Amino acid sequence: MKDVFKINTKTIVATGLGAALFAVLFMFVKIPTGIPETQIQTAYGIGAFFAALFGPIAGAAIAFIGHAVSDSVQYGSAWWSWVVASGVSCFIVGLVMPKLHVEEGSFGKQDVLLFNVFQIIGNAIAWIVVAPVLDIVVYSEPVNLVFTQGVVAAISNAVSMGVIGSLLLLLYSKTKSSKGSLSAED
């Protein structure tokens, strides 16, 4: 069984690369939703992809660091309630890692379903609970605004993770040898 909380050199390198990709995508590749300060962020697809491959610690660090860097570069400081929620969403997605068969060259229907169940739960917790509650407690934001933003963010990030994350995991699985695909020559 895969150790979901194992950190090694490969995980650290993936976290650095993932956080850099996350920050760049977060700044430059997003789709407006019509709700103030809420866009469909393609970065979450990358965060989910790395989280599913390297686990919850890498996923949380990638989203947390990438979001914090992006906010700091764009706005001068991070909006910490949403930075924390980003980390929470990818942490929860990373918990699916030991149940997937991507490294064995398979990302079948069961894997797709499991990945998407985890990412939908992660997005719901992060954006409908964590972000709005922290917005209210830390920033004294209006309740109706932050919960509207949270629901839109949960849906849009679930779409990003579901589509982009699933496609990347499927493509990545195709680069791996399937278990039992090699046979001895007679």
Summarised one tens digit per residue, pLDDT across range 52-104 is: 999 999 999 999 999 999 999 999 999 999 999 999 999 999 999 999 999 99
pLDDT score recorded for residue 181: 54
Residues 98/2, Cβ–Cβ less than 8 Å: yes
Residues 126/154, Cβ–Cβ less than 8 Å: yes
The CA dihedral of 43, 44, 50, 55, to the nearest 10 degrees, is 150
Which CB contacts under 8 angstroms, 24+ apart, belong to 100-104? 100/52, 100/169, 101/173, 101/179, 102/52, 102/53, 102/169, 102/172, 102/173, 102/176, 103/53, 103/176, 104/176, 104/178, 104/179
Helix axes 166-174, 109-124, angle to 10 degrees: 150
pLDDT score recorded for residue 180: 58
pLDDT score recorded for residue 186: 45
* Phi, psi (rounded to 5 degrees) for 30: -145, 155
Check pLDDT > 90 for residue 32. no
pLDDT score recorded for residue 65: 98
Lowest average pLDDT, out of 39-53, 78-92, 141-155, 167-181, goes to: 167-181
Distance CA 165, CA 59 (A): 12
Helix axes 143-160, 80-94, angle to 10 degrees: 40
pLDDT score recorded for residue 106: 93
pLDDT score recorded for residue 179: 59
pLDDT score recorded for residue 87: 98
Mean pLDDT of 12-21: 97
Check pLDDT > 60 for residue 182. no
* Phi, psi (rounded to 5 degrees) for 183: -130, 155
Residues 50/18, Cβ–Cβ less than 8 Å: yes
C-alpha dist (Å) from residue 139 to 36, 127, 180: 16, 16, 55
* Phi, psi (rounded to 5 degrees) for 39: -125, 165
Residues 53/14, Cβ–Cβ less than 8 Å: yes
